[in-house]
Structure 1
């Protein structure tokens, strides 16, 4: 065994495996945990093996053979003990996350499933690592007769890294992205046989609409057709209501960003959107999906006196769009804002709607990039609600870093709170005596949302949101461990939509109600009436969709 495996590698791998079972932001199933733990073991083994090899390469002393074998057996026993001990605590750690999210405890057999899944995952990754090492040694042997030994090794490592990286990027990664783009484009165009165009003249895709129903996709149609009508709003709120206006422009609705933005403005003018009290520019998530909870709640609060418009900028999910075309959403947001804002500012101030920006996830980041405060100082728009802003959002990042001393990273206070406020499940507690300025911006975020709090620095630096006090939806057993926490957060980010409603990246209607109330200040709503509206809306009806 000592000849086949690196003992330091096994020890570090066992440590990484044990730490991977500790809590992170989101609950994990036994299958997901097994994949994560297998990857962590392989990564830890690689670090330990690298250190072991480097020790010998530098010519440092090692104990005699008999002592080395004894140490190897001891390391193997310690590693096995660590793995078994950590597995015995796995359920306790997972339940600490599930408890704060009001989920039932995990099954008692989960540790066995974790081990069964982790072993083949770790083995496959270790074999891949062994093949890479074998390839480096092969190239090294070719170069050694022509170069000094250490120089040949460095060059061999660089050559293998460049070639393998190029192959992975050009053959695998780019092909996968093209396949994903083609898949999501076909999915976007998927139309069921009974999905007929709307008959109402004010709806996008109707016979009177400037936008062809066939050019907007499945998720877009949900936004157009699923909202509450006037009768629904009256039934829920008990107030007289009118029909909300919703406009959507798909990627296939016009060939260029500028033409899609112009088409959006033309459609808004056609339906009379500028005659409503509230006008909202929405940036959807990567696939073009608009969170129903985000727009339905606004329409309830304003008795349907709302017009909204969304323009699609990608077919890919938010995660892929963030990697492939991070500025593409911003380009669409800027084009839409410039046209609508230009028309809006030309209207008499007492005869135009209040103008707001809105976005969730990647849409929140694109919406933040739609304009700068310097461009609107003379005639500012009324506000924005940005929900679950990605960790790379520029405005969110600057404001969070400039927060008032003593306020938590996950719920900061900025300046005098007259322009920008942060909210979570606790609503707007403590703000009743704080006046708003002319522009009201709210960031709605949960402390358990990995899209918001992921960090590439988490592999070597403890994130600030680990400091006390912790968010109400974060496990008290959460701790930071170099590299392992980074891998946990990366997996949480990929699976952010698996959280229950009201946690992670799945935002609850009740929290949208509080946030929209702060941003738009609809008249005639007492706190008791808002609570009644929250109780009347079923959060389970707003399950998360892929982003």
Structure 2
């Protein structure tokens, strides 16, 4: 109980993302159960080694009761600090403080979670003991006990993975499939050329999927772009949904044909987008680029899943990479056959799981003879290979949450306040920019956090990370794992929710666009941020 209480107290401390009472209660209950299990294991080991039970001495017989009372007092006292700790996270994200009943609600959820996990532990021990006792009739006692534990573990894994988890995943799979096929009655195909599903398109409207239909029907119009001065064109958006073809290669080939048909290679810029797990393309990213290029841009994406990124990563771990490679291979293969003087500049982009798969869509050494123009990857997951290697190669004087790699000739990192590399520093033939927030656990989670503090916690600390955040063995890993699940629920500009204004700054670096005045850019940033924030709030109210 002493270790359970210590884990409970540490779990209440702040991490990267604000936690509601239910999320915090579940986290605290799990941490208490882990601490209790660890204490029980240590107690078993102490007994197994036949070491003396100190607290059973007559003079110390009251110590267990005193320790339990101390645990209760410490836990209750820490609950009063929980609100202040959570408010320290909310303050950096400019959120209002939480209400006074927060601590009571999380305590109820934590206790219930602990009780459920303890009952499961007792059930495990009962099964293991029962199998072990029966096995002792024909096997040596210690072999029988090991067999009992193995049998109980196998049963729990089979039930959890084969029945509960698989059943839940199949239910979610069916639900997402139906939602992806649903076409709202007020959603009509685009009437303008240059959009998949519209006039002259090779793709039928239902074959785009829900996220594809959102992608091709939204975005700035010519009038919207012209309002900021100068002539504009209608941006070209090509999207191929899962229902359009049987496999990734067929969808990629269809995307190339559609891009050619819509005139995508006649624009000055072409962007290959790898969407998130659901097939979603962040409007903050593509809208901002279309404004900056005054519509003279074509973008193409294909869907590889209809599940959220974490589920897609679990169920179809390699399919997103396969899809991204197929699309890049088709588009790049045709692009390099075009005259260099007249072909569009070629870029790649992805958010979250899309960033990781976009990274893996190409091998840089194969592009040395004819390189692409650049890449913008936002919120790269912690498993992104290139991101990890670039971060590891940073200047030791730069923090992990905003690295500086060499002289910034090839790759630069940016956050809400820009890049540590001066804006006028020269670029090479290919420009790579990572847009990331220090408060995004999807980028900065690491399983090693269980036993060592991460580098991004070292000073100087990022402005969007609570100054009260501390590292605790095991507990911090559980906190950051939960932060990954909550990272999409933050205010815009924090966590995993990227602001158009920050995309504008990143695209300016990647594309080198210079035909906008500072006043025009400030107006564009303010307007797009306001519109995107209103969309996010409306979607959250609807959910």
TM bin, normalised by shorter chain, reads over 0.9
CA distance in 2 between partners of 1:477 and 1:59 (Å): 42
Q: What SS does the corresponding residue of 2:347 show, helix, strand or coil?
A: strand
Aligned to 2:123: 131
- State the shift of 1:527 in Å: 3.5
CA distance in 2 between partners of 1:19 and 1:190 (Å): 45
CA distance in 2 between partners of 1:381 and 1:305 (Å): 18
Aligned to 2:143: 151
Deviations 1:412-461 (CA, angstroms, capped at 9, x unpaired): 11122111000000113542241000000000000000110111111122
Deviations 1:193-228 (CA, angstroms, capped at 9, x unpaired): 121222223221124210111112222211111100
Aligned to 1:362: 353
Deviations 1:237-294 (CA, angstroms, capped at 9, x unpaired): 2222111111100011111111100110011101100111110000110001110101
Aligned to 1:6: none
Determine if the alignment matches structure 1 residue 57 to structure 2 residue 77: no
CA distance in 1 between partners of 2:209 and 2:50 (Å): 63
Aligned to 2:4: 13
Aligned to 1:203: 195
Aligned to 2:21: 30
Q: How does 1:367-378 map to 2 (within 5 A)?
A: 367-378=358-369
Residue 511 of structure 2: which of 520, 527, 532 is its match? Answer: 520
CA distance in 2 between partners of 1:426 and 1:503 (Å): 12
Cα distance change on mapping 1:274 and 1:80 into 2, 3 Å: same
Per the normalisation by structure 2, the TM-score is 0.96
CA distance in 1 between partners of 2:121 and 2:79 (Å): 26
- 1:380·1:439 contact (CA, 8 Å) conserved in 2? yes
Aligned to 2:534: 541
In terms of mean alpha carbon deviation, does 195-204 or 264-273 score higher? 195-204
Residue 335 of structure 1: which of 326, 335, 339 is its match? Answer: 326
Deviations 1:160-199 (CA, angstroms, capped at 9, x unpaired): 2123213322222222222222211111101111212222
- 1:428·1:518 contact (CA, 8 Å) conserved in 2? no
Q: What SS does the corresponding residue of 1:349 show, helix, strand or coil?
A: coil
- 2:225·2:232 contact (CA, 8 Å) conserved in 1? yes
Q: C-alpha root-mean-square deviation of aligned residues, in Å? A: 1.6
CA distance in 1 between partners of 2:394 and 2:141 (Å): 54
Residue 273 of structure 2: which of 279, 282, 301 is its match? Answer: 282
Q: How does 1:167-246 map to 2 (within 5 A)?
A: 167-235=159-227, 237-246=228-237
- 2:233·2:295 contact (CA, 8 Å) conserved in 1? yes
Determine if the alignment matches structure 1 residue 252 to structure 2 residue 243: yes
Determine if the alignment matches structure 1 residue 504 to structure 2 residue 504: no
- State the shift of 1:401 in Å: 0.9
- State the shift of 1:80 in Å: 0.6
Residue 272 of structure 1: which of 263, 281, 288 is its match? Answer: 263
Deviations 1:6-54 (CA, angstroms, capped at 9, x unpaired): xxxx111111111111000000111211111111111111111221222
- 1:361·1:390 contact (CA, 8 Å) conserved in 2? yes
- State the shift of 1:405 in Å: 1.4
Deviations 1:50-101 (CA, angstroms, capped at 9, x unpaired): 2122222332211436556512201211111221121011111111111111
- 1:292·1:542 contact (CA, 8 Å) conserved in 2? no
Cα distance change on mapping 1:268 and 1:311 into 2, 3 Å: same
- 1:410·1:447 contact (CA, 8 Å) conserved in 2? yes
CA distance in 1 between partners of 2:348 and 2:498 (Å): 17
CA distance in 1 between partners of 2:181 and 2:454 (Å): 41
CA distance in 1 between partners of 2:60 and 2:488 (Å): 48
CA distance in 2 between partners of 1:112 and 1:170 (Å): 36
- 2:404·2:420 contact (CA, 8 Å) conserved in 1? no
Residue 458 of structure 2: which of 467, 470, 476 is its match? Answer: 467
CA distance in 1 between partners of 2:518 and 2:140 (Å): 77
Aligned to 2:306: 315
Aligned to 1:4: none
Residue 444 of structure 1: which of 435, 458, 481 is its match? Answer: 435
CA distance in 2 between partners of 1:258 and 1:30 (Å): 46
Structure 2: 5+ residue stretches without partners: none
For these two proteins, the number of residue pairs brought into alignment is: 536
Q: What SS does the corresponding residue of 1:350 show, helix, strand or coil?
A: coil
Deviations 1:119-169 (CA, angstroms, capped at 9, x unpaired): 111111111111111111111211223333333222321222123213322
In terms of mean alpha carbon deviation, does 454-463 or 494-503 score higher? 454-463
Aligned to 1:301: 292
CA distance in 1 between partners of 2:125 and 2:36 (Å): 13
CA distance in 2 between partners of 1:528 and 1:207 (Å): 37
Cα distance change on mapping 1:39 and 1:67 into 2, 3 Å: farther
Q: What SS does the corresponding residue of 1:347 show, helix, strand or coil?
A: coil
Determine if the alignment matches structure 1 residue 121 to structure 2 residue 113: yes
Aligned to 1:420: 411
- 1:287·1:314 contact (CA, 8 Å) conserved in 2? yes
Determine if the alignment matches structure 1 residue 140 to structure 2 residue 132: yes
CA distance in 2 between partners of 1:373 and 1:239 (Å): 37
Structure 1: 5+ residue stretches without partners: 1-9
- 2:402·2:420 contact (CA, 8 Å) conserved in 1? no
- State the shift of 1:516 in Å: 0.6
Q: What SS does the corresponding residue of 1:384 show, helix, strand or coil?
A: strand
